[in-house]
Each structure stands twice: as structure tokens, then as C-alpha cells.
Amino acid sequence: MLHYAIVFLVIAIIAAILGFGGIAGAAAGIAKILFVIFLILAIIAFFRRAS
């Protein structure tokens, strides 16, 4: 999950450099969503291991 978030972040950066604002914004939004999902799953996994 974190891998896909990083991939979409790189796509957003490259698209922003090339001037594709809409694509960059969409890719950045997807990267944010995937990162939040990763964080939630990581926290759940951590608490399941701790108990």
C-alpha cells in the first residue's frame, strides 16, 4: 500500500513538472488517500500484535 502511495506521489511530481496540473492534482489526491489507508492499517496491525 505504501509502495502505491509513493508511486502516485512520483507521478504527481513528474506531471507537475511537465505542466499537467489536473493529472498532478489527481495523482496527489490518490497518493494521500492511499497513505492514510496505509497508516490506518499499520496502526490496526500494531495494536493487534500488542494485545
Global pTM reads 0.77
How many domains does the chain divide into?
1
Assigned C-alpha cell, 9 = 506521489
Give me the torsion for CA of 24, 29, 35, 36, rounded to 10°: 170
For residue 5, the model assigns a pLDDT of: 87
For residue 34, the model assigns a pLDDT of: 92
Query: Which domain, by its residues, includes 18?
Result: 2-50
Per-residue confidence in pLDDT tens, the chain, 51 aa? 789 888 988 999 999 999 988 888 999 999 999 999 999 999 999 999 886
